[in-house]
C-alpha cells in the first residue's frame, strides 16, 4: 500500500471507530442522517472537515464556480441589483468551498462599482476556511478588510445570502415503504465479518415522529405511494431555513442546487431515492465506501425548501433552472466580453466556451440545477429579480 493510501485508510478507520462507538452507545444502530452527519462533519475526521482536496481536477467533484467564472459573474449581477435596491448591504455565502465563487462575485461587483459592505463566509470546515482565505487573499488582497469568516449565522443580515450546493450536503433520513405500505426508517449498524468490518442497513419503525409525519404528508399529497419504495427526506431543511430567516433582516436568499419539485422527487419510478457519492470523480451509490474520503449527497426537494421558507416568513421570490437564471443575467454577453479578452484559439478561450456550455446545457447542469429565491422584507414591486425574469417555475413547487 502506498504512503498516501495508508494514511487515507487509517483516517477512514478512525472515523469508522468513532461511528461504531456512537452506534454501540445508541443501542446498536444509528439513523442514516446521523451516520451521514458523522461521515461528512465529524470533528477532525468528517469529509468536509478533514484536509483532503475535494474540489476540481485533483479532488472528487467539480462545482459550477470551478467550471467557469461566468457563474460568479452572473451572480454578481443579481447581487448588484439587490444591493442597489437596498442602498447598501452585505453578502453572506454559506459553505464557500474553494472560495472561487466569492472571488468571482467580488470581481464582478468591483467592476460594477457596487461592492458589498462586507463579504461574509460561514464555512463549517476549518481546512476549507484556510483554503478560502488563501485564495481570496491572492485574488483580492485590497478587499481583505471587507471579507470575514463567521462561526455562526449573523443577526440582522441586510443583503444577499448565497448557498451553492450546500443543501445537497445536508444529512438526510432514509426510509422504505414496504409491500403492504409499512413505513420503516433505514438505520445503519456496524457489522463484523471474518477479518472484515462493514455496515449493514436495518429497517426499524421511525424513532423520530417527525419522519412519520413528513411521509404521511407526502402520501396525503399523492406522492411516495409506490411499494416497495426507498427514498430520503431532509428533516433538517425546515429548522435550517427557519434559522436563516431569523438571521436575515432584509434581503434575498439564493439557494442553488440539484433537485426537483416534490412531485418529481417522489414519483413512483424514482423508487431508489437520489443518494449519490463522489470519490475521485467517480459517481456511485455506496455511502459506506471510502468513509470520510468521499462526498455523500442527496438531491434537494425544492417544494419542501420553499414551504419551509414561507413558513418561516420568507416570500417565494423566484424558482427557475440554472440555465434560465444565468441567461437572464446576461451570461452570453459576459462570455463574449471574456472571449474578446482571450486570444483566439487559446486554451483559455476554449475553456471559457466549454465551461459556459456545462453551466447551461440541459444535458449538463442547465436543467438539473435549480435556483430558489426567498426574500425577506422586500416589497413585491422590488422584483421580479433579473435572474428569475426569463422563466418562472414557482407554479411547480
Ligand X SMILES: C[S@@+](CC[C@H](N)C(=O)[O-])C[C@H]1O[C@@H](n2cnc3c(N)ncnc32)[C@H](O)[C@@H]1O
Give min distance, CB of 83 to ligand X, in A: 20
Residue 149 or 271: the one with the smaller Cβ distance to ligand X is 149
User: Cα(160)–Cα(219) distance, rounded to whole angstroms?
Assistant: 35
Residue 169 or 317: the one with the smaller Cβ distance to ligand X is 169
Identify whether 261 is preceded by a cis peptide bond (ω within 30 of 0).
no
Give the phi and the psi of residue 117 in degrees, each rounded to 5: -60, -45
Query: Counting Cβ atoms within 10 Å, is residue 21 exposed (0-12), middle (13-18) or buried (19+)?
Result: exposed
Give min distance, CB of 379 to ligand X, in A: 29
375 within 8 A of 314, measured Cβ to Cβ:
yes
Give min distance, CB of 45 to ligand X, in A: 14
CB under 8 A, 24+ apart: contacts of 219-228: 221/262, 223/262, 223/263, 223/265, 223/266, 223/267, 224/177, 224/266, 225/177, 225/268, 226/177, 226/268, 226/269, 226/271, 227/177, 227/178, 227/179, 227/180, 227/181, 228/176, 228/177, 228/178, 228/179, 228/271
Residue 188 or 276: the one with the smaller Cβ distance to ligand X is 276
Give min distance, CB of 216 to ligand X, in A: 27
325 within 8 A of 73, measured Cβ to Cβ:
no
Residue 166 or 374: the one with the smaller Cβ distance to ligand X is 166
Give min distance, CB of 21 to ligand X, in A: 24
Beta bridge partners of 202: 187
Give min distance, CB of 94 to ligand X, in A: 4
C-alpha cell at 11: 483516517
Residue 221 or 282: the one with the smaller Cβ distance to ligand X is 282
Give min distance, CB of 101 to ligand X, in A: 6
Residue 151 or 194: the one with the smaller Cβ distance to ligand X is 151
Helix, strand or coil for residue 229?
strand
Residue nearest to ligand X (CB): 95
Radius of gyration of the CA atoms of the chain, in A: 21
Give the phi and the psi of residue 242 in degrees, each rounded to 5: -65, -40
- Strand-pair category, 90-94 with 157-164: parallel
Query: Counting Cβ atoms within 10 Å, is residue 110 exposed (0-12), middle (13-18) or buried (19+)?
Result: middle
Residue 48 or 325: the one with the smaller Cβ distance to ligand X is 48
Give min distance, CB of 345 to ligand X, in A: 30
Which residues contact ligand X by CB under 6 A? 48, 55, 63, 65, 94-98, 101, 122-125, 128, 164-166, 169-170
Residue 124 or 217: the one with the smaller Cβ distance to ligand X is 124
Residue 96 or 177: the one with the smaller Cβ distance to ligand X is 96
Give min distance, CB of 282 to ligand X, in A: 16
Cβ burial 222-249 (10 Å sphere, 16+ → b, else e): ebbeeeebbbbbbbebbebbbebbebbe
Give min distance, CB of 168 to ligand X, in A: 6
Residue 78 or 98: the one with the smaller Cβ distance to ligand X is 98
User: Cα(384)–Cα(282) distance, rounded to whole angstroms?
Assistant: 39
Nearest to 46 by CA among 19, 6, 7, 27: 19
User: Cα(331)–Cα(259) distance, rounded to whole angstroms?
Assistant: 22
Amino acid at each position: 500500500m502506498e504512503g498516501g493510501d495508508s494514511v487515507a485508510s487509517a483516517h477512514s478507520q478512525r472515523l469508522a471507530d468513532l461511528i461504531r462507538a456512537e452506534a454501540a452507545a445508541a443501542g446498536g444502530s444509528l439513523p442514516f442522517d446521523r451516520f451521514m452527519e458523522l461521515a461528512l462533519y465529524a470533528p477532525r475526521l468528517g469529509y468536509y472537515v478533514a484536509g483532503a482536496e475535494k474540489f476540481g481536477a485533483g479532488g472528487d467533484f467539480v462545482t459550477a464556480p470551478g467550471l467557469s467564472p461566468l457563474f460568479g459573474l452572473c451572480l454578481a449581477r443579481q447581487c448588484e441589483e439587490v444591493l442597489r435596491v437596498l442602498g447598501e448591504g452585505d453578502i453572506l455565502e454559506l459553505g464557500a468551498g474553494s472560495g472561487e465563487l466569492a472571488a468571482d462575485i467580488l470581481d464582478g461587483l468591483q467592476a460594477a462599482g457596487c461592492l458589498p459592505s462586507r463579504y461574509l463566509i460561514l464555512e463549517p470546515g476549518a481546512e476549507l476556511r484556510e483554503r478560502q482565505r488563501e485564495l481570496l487573499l491572492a485574488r483580492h488582497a485590497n478587499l481583505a478588510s471587507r471579507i470575514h469568516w463567521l462561526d455562526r449565522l449573523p443577526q440582522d443580515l441586510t443583503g444577499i445570502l448565497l448557498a451553492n450546493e450546500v443543501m445537497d450536503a445536508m444529512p438526510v433520513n432514509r426510509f422504505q415503504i414496504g409491500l403492504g405500505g409499512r413505513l420503516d426508517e433505514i438505520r445503519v449498524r456496524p457489522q463484523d465479518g471474518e477479518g472484515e468490518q462493514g455496515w449493514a442497513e436495518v429497517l426499524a419503525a421511525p424513532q423520530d415522529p417527525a419522519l412519520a409525519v413528513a411521509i404521511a404528508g407526502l402520501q396525503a399529497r399523492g406522492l411516495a405511494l409506490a411499494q416497495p419504495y426507498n427514498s430520503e427526506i431532509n428533516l433538517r431543511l425546515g429548522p435550517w431555513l427557519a434559522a436563516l430567516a431569523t438571521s436575515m433582516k432584509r434581503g434575498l436568499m439564493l439557494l442553488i442546487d440539484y433537485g426537483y419539485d416534490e412531485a418529481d422527487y417522489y414519483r413512483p419510478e424514482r423508487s431508489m431515492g437520489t443518494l449519490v457519492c463522489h470519490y475521485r470523480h467517480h459517481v456511485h451509490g455506496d455511502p459506506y465506501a471510502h468513509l470520510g474520503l468521499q462526498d455523500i449527497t442527496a438531491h434537494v426537494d425544492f417544494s419542501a425548501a420553499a414551504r419551509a421558507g414561507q413558513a418561516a416568513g420568507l416570500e417565494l421570490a423566484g424558482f427557475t433552472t440554472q440555465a434560465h437564471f444565468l441567461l437572464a443575467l446576461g451570461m452570453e454577453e459576459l462570455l463574449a466580453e471574456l472571449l474578446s479578452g482571450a486570444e483566439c484559439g487559446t486554451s483559455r478561450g476554449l475553456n471559457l466556451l466549454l465551461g459556459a456550455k456545462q453551466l447551461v446545457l440541459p444535458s449538463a447542469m442547465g436543467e438539473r440545477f435549480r435556483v430558489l429565491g426567498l426574500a425577506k422584507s422586500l416589497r413585491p414591486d422590488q422584483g421580479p429579480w433579473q435572474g428569475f425574469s426569463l422563466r418562472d417555475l414557482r407554479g411547480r413547487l
